[in-house]
Amino acid sequence: MTELTERQKTLLILIIRDYIESAQPVGSKRLAEHYNIGLSSATIRNEMGALTEMGYLRQPHTSAGRVPTEEGYRYFVSQMMNQAELPASIQATISHQFYQARPGVEHWMTLAASVLANQSQGVSVVTAPHTEKAKYKHVELISTQGRQVLMVLVMAGGEVSQQILTLAERVSQERLSQTASRLNSLLAGLAVDAIAALPSRADTLDQDILTIITQDMRRTSESVSGEIYTDGLTNVLSEPEFAESDDARRALKLFEERSTLQDLLARTTINSNVGGLQVLIGGEGEWEELRQCSIVLARYGVPGMATGMLGVLGPMRMSYARTIPTVRFVARLLSDLVSDNIVGE
Amino acid sequence: MTELTERQKTLLILIIRDYIESAQPVGSKRLAEHYNIGLSSATIRNEMGALTEMGYLRQPHTSAGRVPTEEGYRYFVSQMMNQAELPASIQATISHQFYQARPGVEHWMTLAASVLANQSQGVSVVTAPHTEKAKYKHVELISTQGRQVLMVLVMAGGEVSQQILTLAERVSQERLSQTASRLNSLLAGLAVDAIAALPSRADTLDQDILTIITQDMRRTSESVSGEIYTDGLTNVLSEPEFAESDDARRALKLFEERSTLQDLLARTTINSNVGGLQVLIGGEGEWEELRQCSIVLARYGVPGMATGMLGVLGPMRMSYARTIPTVRFVARLLSDLVSDNIVGE
DNA sequence: TAATGGCACTCTCGCTTTGAGAGTGCTAAT
DNA sequence: ATTAGCACTCTCAAAGCGAGAGTGCCATTA
């Protein structure tokens, strides 16, 4: 593939920018009139021809304007990557929202999803911070009614899971507290494998709870990500891509079914670092449902301790200029929150 | 308004049923041919004329078929209400899903939303069980890192809230446990007002935590409902009502913004009992965004202790015959779960 | 007297036609 | 190397048209 001349570069970017705004094929004449480049439509035509030849542009029909190809978008995005910081005023607004939000992972996730969706006008997705090797931190047993007991299990990464147990017989709160306290000193800091390897306990209650804890920790360790939060589903509904084609609607379905979404996140980010930013354009041949969509993804958190994902889905002609810096900024922000608040000792 | 003759009743129901399936205005000829009522199209025409006169049907244009009016749907639904049990096989399937789900309010809510959405092919919404007068049950303080402390607060109704606190100085886990234990015996079973009326504590740490607990409980008491779960947003996307009109899309937006949704739930169910079932048709003049939609709503739980809402949103011609029994059944099921598991002593 | 068959009329919807507009490629002139 | 000009192509919106479906009304029937 030959190099682009300087003029072709600026032209290409101009075309894509115009198309992102208007959603309409852009022609040489229109281009020459609206932006005052010192070039006639004929010259532009020639350059457009060249860009089409090289695979950056495409004509929906003979003699309609040009539309960017996936390759074109990819070039466009690669230009975005370097520059593109979020304006300081917006940064401040977002930080402020986090600052005055109710503290707690759950609220931060919701807020992050909401901010991403609003800023980018796309569909956002955020996964809660998650550790691959869950370490035990603390358990609490609270008697609720009869044989029912509420168990709250806290992992070292900050993950919390609660569930309701039904014991074989009624047990006093006092005895529950003793069991919890024994387990807490016994298991502190242990990973799930170490716990499973422990000899069984003499006390039946202790042993029962221990089994359940092991199950729960295993479940947490096995899942590839923390809980998934999304927002902004309705943002894209008015976009022409979604109003018409069924393809795009299926992409939304993908986002509603958590299991497939997890799969997607796992497979695309397996080799992406915290701080890095990844843009999937048109499903990259892998995801049939995403043929008309793009996704901007980033990983956040503290590598080795607790990390999560966040991203934005939109039509392929989404506003990368808004989305990319926002995703990057929110990822940094969440990383800070994680390292400040969640990392256990 | 005059009474409907028996024949008019069956005709009206037949027309509405056909329209719900086909989404097309239904004409006399079509009706006479497809269903073998022993009547000619001409007779049907006369009856349709009468039904139109009485306000149950409407013609989109002169000489197109008839379409039900809101009044028509209302009559149709009133017929549904009495009969309409969910088939035993489906009941069994749903019960089974709940039985083998991970225990815990959070999972039940998610599952309920999912079941409702799938069965009804509409958008579902479920709110977690919520008590108006929150009563203290238990607090737990877990040191995470430095001055950060994870606080888990359990109310008597079963509601759990967690948040991360930043203390003024580093405090040992031991001292945190002592504080928690002191507060647990002091506050057990008290309502938020009683707690606020307590004299302040000598120990600074105790007092700080107490203040935060009060705030948190007040926040829980004030909100009109528990957390909101939805599912099936994409179910309705292919319905013609949503594909075309912007109205219907705005209804979805309503469902995404939790605050307005809470408002809606609060205002519509203020006088509905547990076990009762409410059907809002076309927004009932109150909700502009819902002009083209219907909502089937029910309240579940144990009155006075903990109750929540669940419902389904769909186009006005949604399948009431599937939705109504499903909502009713799931409401009963959740009520049982609540009374079995959540009610404190 | 209630139900029906027949008829004239209306309105939508899908089809084709048509002309304007926008865009293109190519070539000759600057 | 750039540009003006030209012939050509293709889409899109408006207009015209006929088929189909539905209606209301009236005379007839059982």
Question: Taking CA atoms, what residue in A is nearest to B123?
Answer: A256
User: What is the average per-residue pLDDT within B145-158?
Assistant: 85
Residues 6+ positions from A287 with CB-CB distance below 8 Å: A254, A264, A280
- By CB atoms closer than 10 A (0-12, 13-18, 19+), residue B153 is buried
* B142 and A CB contact within 8 Å: yes
Going from the C-alpha of B107 to that of each of A115, B100, B111, B257, the distances in angstroms are: 26, 11, 6, 22
pLDDT in the model for residue B342: 62
Point out the residues of chain A with pLDDT beneath 70: 1-2, 269-272, 342-345
pTM for the whole thing? 0.90
Q: What local confidence, expressed as pLDDT, does residue B261 receive?
A: 85
Q: Where are the beta strands (DSSP E) in chain A?
A: 57-58, 67-68, 123-127, 136-145, 148-155, 160-166, 228-231, 277-281, 293-302, 306-315
pLDDT class of B272 with cuts at 50, 70, 90: low
Give the model's confidence band at B163: pLDDT under 50 very low, under 70 low, under 90 confident, else very high.
Answer: confident
Distance CA A176, CA A344 (A): 25
Question: CA of B145 and C1' of C14: distance in angstroms?
Answer: 71
Return positions of chain C under 7 A from a protein CB: 3-6, 9-12, 22-27
Q: Does A102 touch chain B (CB under 8 A)?
A: yes
Residue percentage of chain B with pLDDT more than 90: 50
Per-residue model confidence as pLDDT tens digits over B27-77: 898 888 888 788 888 899 999 999 999 999 999 888 788 999 999 999 999
Chain A residue numbers touching B252 (CB-CB < 8 A): 233-234, 237
Q: What is the DSSP letter of B148?
A: E
Q: What is the predicted pLDDT for the residue at A272?
A: 67
Contacts of B319 (CB under 8 A, 6+ apart): B20, B120, B121
Cβ contacts (< 8 Å) between A344 and chain B: which residues?
144-145
Q: Name the residue among A112, A134, A305, A325 with its Cα closest to residue A214.
A: A134
**Token duo for residue B34:** 């497809």
Give the sheet arrangement for strand B228-231, strand by strand: B228-231, B123-127, B306-315, B293-302, B277-281
Residue closest to A315 by CA, chosen among A68, A63, A61: A68
List the end-to-end C-alpha distance of chain B, in Å, as a whole number: 52
Bridge partners of B229, per DSSP, are: B126
Backbone angles phi, psi at B130, to 5 degrees: -145, 140
Average pLDDT, chain B: 88
Whole-angstrom Cα distance, residue A301 to residue B129? 33
* Strand positions, DSSP E, A158-303: 160-166, 228-231, 277-281, 293-302
The 3 state secondary structure assigned to B39-93 is CCHHHHHHHHHHHHHCCCEECCCCCCCEEECHHHHHHHHHHHHHCCCCCHHHHHH
DSSP reduced 3-state for A329 = helix
Q: Which residues pair with A309 in a beta bridge?
A: A299
B13 vs B19: CA distance, rounded Å? 10
pLDDT tens track for B281-292: 988 877 888 888
Question: Three-state SS for B169?
Answer: coil
Of residues A243, A256, A345, nearest to B233 (C-beta): A256
- For residue range A128-138, what is the model confidence (pLDDT) as tens digits? 998 888 889 89
Gap between the terminal Cα atoms of chain A: 52
Report the distance from CA of residue A237 to the C1' of nucleotide D16 in Å, as an integer.
36
The pLDDT value recorded for residue A345 is 42
Nearest protein residue to nucleotide D20 (CA to C1' distance) is B64
Nearest chain B residue to A341 by CA distance is: B148
pLDDT of residue B345: 41
Query: In the complex, which nucleotide's C1' lies nearest to the CA atom of residue B53?
Result: D24
CB A64 under 7 Å to nucleic chain D: yes
- The residues near B326 (Cβ < 8 Å, ≥ 6 apart) are B86, B115, B116, B119, B120, B312
State the Cα–Cα distance between residues B72 and B55, nearest whole angstrom: 7
- Cβ neighbours around B21 below 10 Å, total: 11
Among all strands, which nt has the closest C1' to B41 (CA)?
C4
CA–CA dist A220, A212 (Å, integer): 12
